[in-house]
Chains A and B, each alone.
Chain A
Amino acid sequence: MTEVKRWLAAIILLVVAILSGSLAMFLHPVMWGRVSFGLTLIGLVTLALYDEDNYNLLWLAGLLGLICDWFYLGFVGVCLVAFPALTFLAQKIARYVPELALPKMIVVVLMYLLQYLYLFLVLAMFNLSDTGRSAFWQGLGSSLLSGIVWTVLTFWAWRKLAQNFPFLPSQADLY
């Protein structure tokens, strides 16, 4: 049971990574514009903000990124890079963020936008998407909106998970 608790965050993040695709499929018809369903990144960044010294989160982020890239895109380098990089960044700035929910939620939304910018940069660089200015701003607007909505809806659950079931905590963290 204790072992399951140590891995619970990873299991939930994997389920959320799968759920993101299912939600995208079911909710796409009723969503406005190009909305992303980056729930996995929101989870990783929130866990990183509450568990800033846990570097196990970095390899977990890398593994999830690799799986998401393979399953949803067919090539690697988008989530595989963005997930661990933004998790690392969140851990580094966590000590400067006040211990209140709102500032942490703002950081999560900013990370969500950074992932959008990185994705746009990669797709534009490799000619994999439309690089028009209007498309960029439209995507940025819908990403900001979806980032805020998903963060508000799921933040409390991720916080509980980080506080009660940290991912593979070290012995020092347990005592």
Chain B
Amino acid sequence: MKKFFQNKKIITIFVIVVLILSLLTVSVHARQRRSGPLFVQKVGNETMAIGSHLLNWPLALISGGANSVHDIMQAESENDHLKKQVDSLAQTKARNASLESENAQLKKALKLKSSLTDYHLINGSVISRSPETWSDILIIDRGSSSGVRKNMAVMSGGGVIGRIIEVDQTTAKVELLTTSDKQANRFAVQAKSSSVKMVHGVISATNGQLSFTQVNNGHKLKTGTKVYTSGMGGNSPQGLLIGKVSKTTKDSYGLSDVITIKPAGELTSPSVVTVVQRKEAD
């Protein structure tokens, strides 16, 4: 012990390691708890966001050109598919309008101002992505000035892709559903089983695969069953599509069901996103 205290190099290294660990601990906990970043961090983030906008312009031109060629090649099959959809669209729209008006009347009768299914949408674009290996974080061009708040759900390509973890004035960070961050907030979800009962659980991710966990009677869910947010937890509204059941297995202990989900949202390359702002219930 005496030798340890006499060796200045060892003491210096020890102090540096302790300082780094303390910095990380404080910083990681602060990110989880605080509602917004520090002022200096906001300034840095806004400056980087402006730079990203400027650099993305030429990159988007190149990328957009390549995508256009791909889109033209896909146009014919897409057109055939859409023609079939158009036939049933008019009927669906009429039915939707009548259900909406009925729903509004029923809410009025019950004196309900908002429910779990009420929400506003905020559209935005992805301007950057974390370049680090393990980090599933996107940066979008909508922030607190557009009404974006921490923990709001984010959708792209028809399904939920993640949630807001940090908000600046004009930008926000989105943590994708595929993140393996064990401290991340999870979406409470539900699905209708074959016996017409609701099955509840949460969405987790392992090695980029989504699964429906903490669920009882999961074996009753057939392949192809749609999984939606349940609105529990108070952050996201009810009824946002997460994906479809692709496989049901048992965990390594054989005790609970592990249901693999095929995500409905565009998790690989989302360029346009929609932030879902839940209406506060009275």
Q: Which of A20, A125, A126 has the most CB of B within 10 A?
A: A126
A29 contacts which chain B residues (CB < 8 A)?
Answer: 268-269
Does chain B have a CB within 8 A of A168?
no
CB of A122 within 8 A of CB of B24, answer yes
CB of A126 within 8 A of CB of B133, answer no
B127 contacts which chain A residues (CB < 8 A)?
Answer: 22, 25
Other-chain residue from B37, B131, B137, B166 in contact with A36 (beta carbon distance below 8 A): B131
A118 to chain B, nearest CB (A): 10
B181 to chain A, nearest CB (A): 5
Mark each residue of chain B from 161 to 194: 1 if its CB lies under 8 Å from any CB of chain A, else 0. 0000110000001000001111100000000000
CB of A116 within 8 A of CB of B41, answer no
Q: Which of A71, A76, A132 has the most CB of B within 10 A?
A: A71
B44 contacts which chain A residues (CB < 8 A)?
Answer: 66-67, 70-71
CB of B134 within 8 A of CB of A25, answer no
Mark each residue of chain A from 49 to 82: 1 if its CB lies under 8 Å from any CB of chain B, else 0. 0000000000000000011001111111110110
CB of A25 within 8 A of CB of B126, answer yes
User: Given A21-B52, A28-B129, A77-B20, are A119 and B183 neighbors across the interface (CB < 8 Å)?
Assistant: no
- Compute the total of residue contacts between A and B using a CB distance below 8 Å: 142
B67 to chain A, nearest CB (A): 10
Q: Which of A6-36 contact B (CB under 8 A)?
A: 14-15, 17-26, 28-29, 34-36
CB of B37 within 8 A of CB of A67, answer no
Dominant secondary structure at the B interface: mixed
A37 to chain B, nearest CB (A): 4
Chain A interface: which size bin? 35 or more
What separation, in Å, do the CA atoms of A72 and B126 have in the docked complex?
Answer: 13
CB of A72 within 8 A of CB of B132, answer yes
CB of B268 within 8 A of CB of A73, answer no
What separation, in Å, do the CA atoms of A17 and B131 have in the docked complex?
Answer: 9
Does chain B have a CB within 8 A of A123?
yes
Mark each residue of chain A from 77 to 121: 1 if its CB lies under 8 Å from any CB of chain B, else 0. 110110000000000000000000000000000000000100110
User: Given A28-B268, A38-B131, A74-B173, are A128 and B52 neighbors across the interface (CB < 8 Å)?
Assistant: no
User: Given A36-B131, A73-B137, A74-B166, are A18 and B48 neighbors across the interface (CB < 8 Å)?
Assistant: yes
CB of A70 within 8 A of CB of B37, answer yes
Q: Which of B131, B138, B180 has the most CB of A within 10 A?
A: B131
B233 to chain A, nearest CB (A): 20
What separation, in Å, do the CA atoms of A122 and B129 have in the docked complex?
Answer: 20
Q: Which of B33-57 contact A (CB under 8 A)?
A: 37, 41, 44-45, 48-49, 51-52, 55-56
CB of A67 within 8 A of CB of B48, answer yes
Mark each residue of chain B from 17 to 38: 1 if its CB lies under 8 Å from any CB of chain A, else 0. 0001001110110110000010
Does chain A have a CB within 8 A of B96?
no
A128 contacts which chain B residues (CB < 8 A)?
Answer: 28, 134, 181-183
Does chain A have a CB within 8 A of B207?
yes
B55 contacts which chain A residues (CB < 8 A)?
Answer: 15, 18-19, 22
Does chain A have a CB within 8 A of B128?
yes
CB of A71 within 8 A of CB of B139, answer yes
A98 to chain B, nearest CB (A): 28
A75 contacts which chain B residues (CB < 8 A)?
Answer: 24, 27-28, 30-31
Other-chain residue from B59, B133, B183 in contact with A22 (beta carbon distance below 8 A): B59
CB of B131 within 8 A of CB of A23, answer yes
CB of A77 within 8 A of CB of B23, answer yes
B45 contacts which chain A residues (CB < 8 A)?
Answer: 70-71
Residue of B nearest to A69 (CB): B27
Residue of B nearest to A72 (CB): B130
> Which A residues contact B (CB, under 8 angstroms)?
14-15, 17-26, 28-29, 34-39, 66-67, 70-78, 80-81, 116, 119-120, 122-123, 125-130, 132, 134-135, 139, 142-143
Shortest 6 CB-CB contacts between residues of A and residues of B? A130-B180, A21-B128, A37-B131, A77-B24, A29-B269, A25-B129
Q: What would 12 A/B residue contacts be, using CB atoms closer than 8 Å?
A: A18-B128, A25-B56, A25-B127, A25-B138, A28-B268, A29-B269, A75-B28, A77-B24, A77-B28, A125-B24, A135-B207, A139-B134
Query: What 16 new A-B contacts, CB under 8 Å, besides A71-B48, A78-B132, A128-B134?
Result: A18-B51, A20-B131, A22-B128, A34-B133, A39-B131, A66-B44, A67-B44, A70-B37, A76-B23, A77-B24, A120-B133, A126-B183, A127-B181, A128-B181, A128-B182, A132-B206
